[in-house]
Amino acid sequence: MSKIAQLILIFSLLTLLLVSALMSGLIHSERWEIKQVEVAAEYQRVTAEQVRLVVKKTGERSFFRLDTDQVKNALKSLNWVREAHVVKQWPDSLKVTLVEHQPKAIWNDRQLINQRGELFDVERIDDVAGLPKLYAPDNQADQIYKMFIRFNRLLQPVGHEIATAQVSQRGGWQLELRNGLQINLGNEQQEARALRLADTWQSMVRTSQQSPQRIDLRYSNGYVVQWHPGNNEQQPSPAQLQDQEVSS
């Protein structure tokens, strides 16, 4: 008999013995019990106690019978868990690696959007109230988030990040920056319009003693600025706001 045939025979016998042991009840949970759960995670929203509780709820404690996929799926059901990896390590350990969602924006006041543009649910949106808010069709989350990041970069010369972005069904973008400035990008040539504003921002604010309140970029060669009234005005009405066209 060749060495390969001998190895195959030995492996087959060992497999048969293992199956026989399982069938005969030799391998019981109390004899080969998982006693240690090691978790690798940068805890921010999920706790070690939550992880151990999930493992405990799976019921099966036998090293051989424990289904790692079942544990993995149970962990991924936790609100803040994006990815989970579970492996058994002989003789009595379970190694768990967790990756949490990193919330980047609030989506339609119902969900959060993570660093990959993926939507996920949490119990309380109020816990992350300082995040920017995006309002857009639900089936465009990934695309909208990428554009949101792009517009934030293009508008850096303005000096304030986007606090709120509203996107219509036709693709029109309206932004509100953290200083309250409202910007209408329209639904076409949006990057070019954002760049036009960034390129002319410094010269525009230098020529006025007032700060802009609204900017409409839906023009081919310039944009319209609606200014805050002067500091000597108290509680101005909308009628007191002035419009000025800026060419570029």
pTM reported for the whole predicted model? 0.77
Pairing outcome for strands 212-216 and 182-186: parallel
87 pLDDT higher than 80: yes
- Which H or E run contains 217? none
Q: How far is residue 208's CA from residue 210's CA, in Å, rounded to a whole number?
A: 5
Q: How far is residue 98's CA from residue 118's CA, in Å, rounded to a whole number?
A: 17
pLDDT in tens, 107-141: 999 999 999 999 999 988 887 889 999 999 988 99
Burial (CB < 10 A; 0-12, 13-18, 19+), residue 81, is buried
Q: Residue 62 in contact with residue 34, Cβ under 8 Å?
A: yes
Q: How far is residue 26's CA from residue 91's CA, in Å, rounded to a whole number?
A: 16
- Which H or E run contains 206? helix 190-206
Q: How far is residue 149's CA from residue 49's CA, in Å, rounded to a whole number?
A: 35
Query: Is the pLDDT higher at 35 or at 245?
Result: 35
Q: How far is residue 217's CA from residue 204's CA, in Å, rounded to a whole number?
A: 14
Q: How far is CA 143 from the centre of its chain?
A: 13
**Ramachandran sector of residue 146 (left: φ over 0; alpha: ψ -120 to 50; beta: rest):** alpha
Output phi, psi for 175, to 5 deg.
-115, 150
Domain at 27-100, CATH class: alpha beta
Considering the chain, tell me which residue range(s) the CATH 3.10.20.310 domain(s) occupy: 27-100
207 pLDDT higher than 70: yes
Q: How far is residue 95's CA from residue 83's CA, in Å, rounded to a whole number?
A: 14
Q: State both tokens at 202.
A: 């410094």
Considering the chain, tell me which residue range(s) the CATH 3.40.50.11690 domain(s) occupy: 105-247
What pLDDT is stored for residue 15 in this prediction? 65
pLDDT level of residue 236 (50, 70, 90 thresholds): very low
Fold of 105-247: Rossmann fold (3.40.50)
pLDDT in tens, 139-180: 899 999 999 999 999 999 999 999 999 999 999 999 999 999
- Asked if residue 91 has a cis previous peptide bond (ω within 30° of 0), the answer is yes
Output phi, psi for 53, to 5 deg.
-65, -40
Burial (CB < 10 A; 0-12, 13-18, 19+), residue 226, is middle
Q: How far is residue 52's CA from residue 37's CA, in Å, rounded to a whole number?
A: 7
Question: Torsion over CA of 69, 75, 76 and 79, rounded to 10 degrees?
Answer: 170
Q: How far is residue 213's CA from residue 241's CA, in Å, rounded to a whole number?
A: 9
SS3 118: coil
